[in-house]
Amino acid sequence: MSWAEIILLAIGLCFDTFAVSLSSGMCLPQIPRLSFVRIVSTFASVQAVFALAGWFAGNALLTLISSVDHWIAFIILSYIGLKMIRESLSNPDELCLDIRQPKILITASVATSIDALAVGIGLAMASLDLAEISKSALIIFLFTLLSSVIGIKWGRYVGVKIGKRSGVIGGFILIIIGLKILVEHLEILN
């Protein structure tokens, strides 16, 4: 994968975190600096670890499903993208989460990172090696960290509509990446 594709993938994955951070930033008063660092680093770490875990799981399955791996990557990324778009458009009420509480922070981090697990599986199907997935996980970490910082900091200044649009944009990015993987693999076969 090129740097541009990895960055687009990371941007697509961090929109859920951005939406939760934005919503929480609108609901919460000032967050102490130590809590702020704990919150943003938890979101970013869980997202990156889930992408790596998905890649390892996908690699374990790769020999069993190598003849259809491109279709699996396309279906997973498209499903996640469509799910993000649907949820962004159908959830009129933003949830107000107090992510300063450890139990809520962990739950929100896992919930916003499930997509990264599936994407990691898809990246294994796209034949990324360990160096490429490590680079991807680092970029995912950095973009998720940045998106949660921006979401929390700007939460009180930015309206709920931006958060909803971010889910739609992220969904389209994931669908496009899945389609690209499918098209490239089908071109190789011809």
- Could you report the per-residue pLDDT of 85-104, keeping only the tens digit for each? 887 777 655 445 678 889 98
* pLDDT above 70 for 162: no
Quick check: pTM over 0.85?
no
Structure tokens at 36: 């702020």
Average pLDDT on 155-160 reads: 63
d(CA 120, CA 55): 4
pLDDT above 70 covers a percentage of the chain that reads 85
Q: Within 13 Å and on the Cβ side, how many CA atoms surround 89?
A: 10
Residue 37: give the domain boundaries. 3-189
Q: Which residue has the higher pLDDT, 97 or 132?
A: 132
Average pLDDT of the chain, as a whole number:
82
Total structural domains in the chain? 1
Question: Do 22 and 155 touch, CB atoms closer than 8 A?
Answer: yes
Average pLDDT on 3-23 reads: 85
* pLDDT above 90 for 38: yes
d(CA 145, CA 153): 12
d(CA 8, CA 42): 21
Question: Do 97 and 27 touch, CB atoms closer than 8 A?
Answer: yes
The amino acid sitting at 20 is: V
d(CA 51, CA 56): 9
* pLDDT computed for residue 84 by the predictor: 72
